[in-house]
Amino acid sequence: FSDLPKPSYLNQTLQELKAKEDTPVITVLNQFIERRVSALPIVNEQGKVVDIYAKFDVINLAAEKTYNNLDMTVRKALEHRDQWFEGVAKCKADDTLLSVLETLVKAEVHRLVIVDDENRVVGVVSLSDILKFLVLRPAREENLTKIDKEDSQTEISLNDVCE
């Protein structure tokens, strides 16, 4: 892994994966490309999560033919979102993998925003992150994480997934 080329976005912290409400849509789209992500948490002036902007929201702009003005703010662009949006799905860094999976399933989303106790962004965990963790983690770790057959709740934390 150390011999592979490392794009500059790999040096950015998880806490940098966010945008403010007044960030222009074009800036967010560039971040999608540069950071290879499909969504960014949107924070208010206090740095607290208020929304999420995803590639799917860009489709809404195209459907409404409002994509000509990519200088509009994310806040303005999110006004074009359909009524289906139920809010930002969140979790804490010390949540178990089981609880994260349950939240993803119940919320019917592909990612959760990881927040601290003040609702500030710590990072984002996606289904892809979890799948990579489950598929790629070494088999020797299985011996370290023995699951009691009577208690099927694994105590793997989100920190293990996001390493």
Residues 62 and 81 both lie in one domain: yes
Domain co-membership, 73 together with 14: yes
Same domain, yes or no, for 163 and 148? yes
User: Do 68 and 120 lie in a common domain?
Assistant: no
Domain containing 66 equals 1-87
pLDDT tens readout for residues 12-55: 554 556 788 889 989 998 888 888 888 899 999 888 999 999 88
Task: Tell whether 35 and 8 lie within a shared domain.
Answer: yes
Q: Total domain count for the chain? A: 2
How far is Cα 78 from Cα 58, in angstroms, rounded to an integer?
A: 9
pLDDT at 1: 45
Return the pLDDT at 160: 60
CATH number at residue 101: 3.10.580.10
Do 20 and 57 lie in one domain? The reply is yes
Boundary-marking domain end, from 87, 107, 130: 87
Query: Domain check: are 77 and 105 in the same one?
Result: no
Tens digit of pLDDT for each residue in 90-147? 999 999 989 999 999 999 999 999 999 999 998 889 898 888 888 876 654 554 454 4
Label residue 86 by pLDDT band (50, 70, 90).
Answer: confident
pLDDT of 141: 53
Q: Do 122 and 135 share a domain, yes or no?
A: yes
Q: Computed from CA positions of residues 119, 124, 126, 132, in that sequence, does the dihedral angle turn out positive or negative?
A: negative
Q: Specify whether 74 is located in the same domain as 149.
A: no
Model pTM greater than 0.85?
Answer: no
| Residues 8 and 51 grouped into a single domain | yes
Do 144 and 103 share a structural domain?
yes
Let me know whether 77 and 104 are in one domain: no
